[in-house]
Copies of this chain bind each other. A is one copy, B any other.
């Protein structure tokens, strides 16, 4: 399971590391869109955008549905849940360690005044 999560984080953080793909997520937060819509908005070929969307889909951040000749893209449910959880955990650990260090510094100040 840990392996599974790690692999998922690989994919989603890699997906988020590209400004176009973050832009697509932001756009899909405003409204669903077709591949053509997105390609237009980000000044890219259809094929290029298709690859970005496929990648986002593989990372579980976006879902798509083909309706007629159009593929509709939406944000995925539970989007960024795992990613937020990992980041929060790291920040929690860091804060704890920092607070502990701070406490030691305070203690030294008390016990060892200039």
B residues near A72, Cβ cutoff 8 Å = none
A interface, how many residues as a size bin? Answer: 20 to 34
> Chain B's nearest CB lies how many Å from the CB of A77?
8
Residues of B close to A30: CB separation below 8 A: 93
Q: How far is the CA of A22 from the CA of B89 in the complex (A)?
A: 12
Smallest Cβ distance from A14 to chain B, in angstroms?
A: 4
Q: How far is the CA of A3 from the CA of B18 in the complex (A)?
A: 13
Q: Taking CB as reference atom, which chain B residue is nearest A86?
A: B22
The answer to whether A10 has its CB under 8 Å from any CB of chain B is: yes
| A83 adjacent to B87 (CB under 8 Å) | yes
**Contact string against B for A residues 1-16, beta-carbon threshold 8 Å, 1 for contact and 0 otherwise:** 0000010011101101
